Structure 1
Amino acid sequence: MRIIPVECVRNGSFLGKTIYDSEGRILLREGIPLKDTLLKKIKENNIHQIYVVDEYSNIEIDDVIKPELRQKSIKTLKEVFININKASKSNLIVDKEPYIDSVNNIAEEILNNILDNKNIMLSLVDIKNMDNYTYQHSVNVAIISVVIGVGLKLSKRDLLNLCIGALLHDIGKAFIPNDIIKKPSSLTEEEFKLIKTHPQKGYDYLFNNFNISSSSKLIIKQHHERVDGLGYPNKLKSDSIFRLSKIVSIADVYDALTSNRPYRKPIHANDAVEYIMAHSGTVFDHKLVTVFTKFIVPYPIGTIVELSTGDTCIVENNNFRYPLRPIVKILESSDEARKGKTIDLLYALSTVITKIKYYV
């Protein structure tokens, strides 16, 4: 199974992962043959990349949490955001406790799911419906953040606070007009200024709520701060930024880069990892980036890649803690004798992956 842009899918491929609509209902079940009419339906639902099973890859990629929990989490966050947004428009006073309690419960379920998973390497990029982007993104950021936290050997209390803060990191966007949040083109300077208020708005909204820890609240306020002091809302520098906030900052950017947005297409996981590594020490905390890169799988099993040797290969396995150096099998080569040969890039140090390919 591998991820492919919808427009690149060939007839004869099968859907690798179930697709859901904006209401969390099943749109298409995994295993269904993909034909032009179905691909058109997928595009109409604002989904622009999908997982397929074809002659190159029929291996399933497991998520770190159960699919039903992912959908339940998205639905819960959607209800929270929508109700807060409605209340803000009508100046109603809303009892926050039931909403926060539901998020706390979801966070515990996500945390327990991840802790029960023996293999917590993240090899799955979530396929998002753009209408539900904010809620799907928040769930993904929580999952990625917790995996980093597990890698850091954080206590269960810290992991839970991390998960809650990550789930709610964009809660302030409930106070930003939807036409700005979903704008399909670049934001104006004034619109961007308004967007940049969402960390403070979210923090202020939850400030007096005692059902959420101060740690989780700080995550909401600081997830856009940068270690070089050029972030917002307070331009804090590295030592002044809460450690859990720095974790969420990495997860937030990684998921955003690998997601389809109205104003740009997603980039591949390996490019997103390279971006974060390139900004280590300026935007992101260097030590946390090092941990992050050990648990993210930029080249999932089944990915077709081209090597610096010119060979076209398929990823057969990943090296734990060295995900940028997978084990590959040569599918096409100018040297016929090399076809079918397996290369462990952890040891073939002079060979690098130069690009992702969708077909041989």
Structure 2
Amino acid sequence: MRLIPIGCVRPDTYLAKTIYDHEGKPLLKAGALLTKRVIKKLREINIYSIYVIDEYSSSEIQDIIKPELRQKSIKKVHDSFMNLEKLYLEPYLCASSYKSNEIIKKQDSIIKELYNVAHELLDNILSNKNVLVNLVDIKTMDNYTYQHSVNVAVLSIVIGMGLKLNKSRLLDLALGALLHDIGKIFVPKEILLKPGKLTPEEYDEIKKHPKRGYEYVSKFSFISSVSKIIILEHHEKYDGTGYPDGISADQINLLANVVSIADVYDALTSDRPYKKPMCPNDAFEYILGNADKMFRFDIVNIFSKVIVPYPEGTMVKLSNGDIAIVQGTPCDYPLRPIVKVIKSEEKGKEGSIIDLGESLSLVISNIEYNLA
């Protein structure tokens, strides 16, 4: 299977992975025939990339967590954020102390459910022998915040494992990552979903979400101080150019640094109302290029060993002009995958396997989606 932009999908190919709505219900099941009408409909509901089955790649792309757990987690985050947003307004609608106490109990229960989600994600990843992460998946724009929260938690956990964190600290990291954008429930939807460029005033409103999220979760005693600090500091940058406080270097909590990288990588590779997604390899290079600028070098180094910039099935153009399909990714050098040549000007070369980790004269020059 291959993940390709909807504009590059050829009619009469087949869908390889089920597409879900924000409730976790299937919109289109794996195996469906992708006719021109279906492709047009997917575009209309703001789905811009899908997995297809074609003659170029038959391998199945394995996620680091079980698909059913991913959908369950996304739905739980969606429901929790929506319910917390509703409850946030209720104390201002009535003066009853009894009613206020009931609201606090409900909020406490919802946050504890998210704690359980973080715990389940952590246990699932710790039991998985494959620690390489492919976060590029089918995403719907109206479900972005919830998919993003789960993706950031997953990648943060794997980076945390690379830092040799114990299980207790990994759980703090997972919960902080899952809740890192909780302050956005206090940002007006017309700003969050604005399709165009934000005004300076609107951007200032967005920049308040880490502090608002931190203040909101401060009342929950069962959330560790580290998880709370992650929420506050996940937009701080190593060089001091971040927000809300503009702190830098070692002033920023280690685990907030982890979530910062995971947050930026997933945001770059996701469709948003105001931008198209960046290719995984370009986003990967962006993170590496900002080591010791936006991000801590040691954490970027671990990130570079666990992320998959070229998932299996990706069609790539090599520097010699050959077109190849990625067959596998070495753990220690993900920018140099193993590829199978499917088109070449050189006679007899098609079908040959090249390990780019050994063929150092060759590099990947571009991602392709269809043969010319």
d(CA) in 2 for partners of 1:154, 1:315: 32
Contact 1:226 1:283 in 2 (8 A): yes
d(CA) in 1 for partners of 2:88, 2:119: 28
**Bigger mean CA deviation after superposition, 11-20 or 228-237:** 11-20
Q: Secondary structure at the match of 2:124?
A: helix
**Counterpart in 1 of 2:28?**
28
**Counterpart in 2 of 1:303?**
314
Contact 1:12 1:54 in 2 (8 A): no
**Counterpart in 2 of 1:291?**
302
Deviation track 1:33-81 (CA, whole Å, cap 9, x = no partner) reads 2112221222232211111110101111011111221111112111222
User: Aligned-pair distance for 1:19?
Assistant: 0.3
d(CA) in 1 for partners of 2:307, 2:80: 29
Query: Quick one: which of 229, 232, 236 aligns to 1:225?
Result: 236
Contact 1:97 1:209 in 2 (8 A): yes
Query: Quick one: which of 121, 132, 137 aligns to 1:110?
Result: 121
Query: Quick one: which of 315, 322, 334 aligns to 2:326?
Result: 315
Query: Quick one: which of 288, 293, 303 aligns to 1:282?
Result: 293
Contact 2:84 2:110 in 1 (8 A): no
Which amino acid is the alignment partner of residue 11 of structure 2?
A: N
Deviation track 1:272-300 (CA, whole Å, cap 9, x = no partner) reads 00000011110011110010010111111
Which amino acid is the alignment partner of residue 215 of structure 2?
A: D
**Bigger mean CA deviation after superposition, 237-246 or 31-40:** 31-40
**Counterpart in 2 of 1:241?**
252
Q: Secondary structure at the match of 1:336?
A: coil
Task: Give the percent of matched residue pairs that are identical in Structure 1 and Structure 2.
Answer: 54
Q: How does 1:31-180 map to 2 (within 5 A)?
A: 31-90=31-90, 91=92, 93=100, 94-95=103-104, 96-180=107-191
Contact 2:135 2:151 in 1 (8 A): no
**Counterpart in 2 of 1:190?**
201
Q: Does 1:257 align with 2:268?
A: yes
User: Aligned-pair distance for 1:25?
Assistant: 0.9
Which amino acid is the alignment partner of residue 333 of structure 1?
A: S
**Bigger mean CA deviation after superposition, 101-110 or 81-90:** 81-90
User: 5+ residue gaps in structure 2?
Assistant: 94-99
Q: Secondary structure at the match of 1:280?
A: coil
User: Aligned-pair distance for 1:124?
Assistant: 4.1
d(CA) in 2 for partners of 1:149, 1:83: 30
Which amino acid is the alignment partner of residue 298 of structure 1?
A: P
User: Aligned-pair distance for 1:86?
Assistant: 2.1
User: Aligned-pair distance for 1:163?
Assistant: 0.5
Deviation track 1:249-285 (CA, whole Å, cap 9, x = no partner) reads 0000000000001111101110100000011110011
User: Root-mean-square deviation (CA), in Å?
Assistant: 1.2
TM-score normalised by length of structure 2 = 0.94
**Bigger mean CA deviation after superposition, 93-102 or 79-88:** 79-88
d(CA) in 2 for partners of 1:149, 1:2: 29
d(CA) in 2 for partners of 1:154, 1:224: 22
Deviation track 1:340-359 (CA, whole Å, cap 9, x = no partner) reads 22211101112110000001
d(CA) in 1 for partners of 2:34, 2:222: 46
**Bigger mean CA deviation after superposition, 42-51 or 97-106:** 42-51
Where does structure 1 differ by over 4 angstroms across 4 or more consecutive aligned residues?
Answer: none
**Bigger mean CA deviation after superposition, 37-46 or 295-304:** 37-46
**Counterpart in 1 of 2:97?**
none
**Bigger mean CA deviation after superposition, 84-93 or 177-186:** 84-93
Contact 2:135 2:266 in 1 (8 A): no
User: Aligned-pair distance for 1:12?
Assistant: 3.1
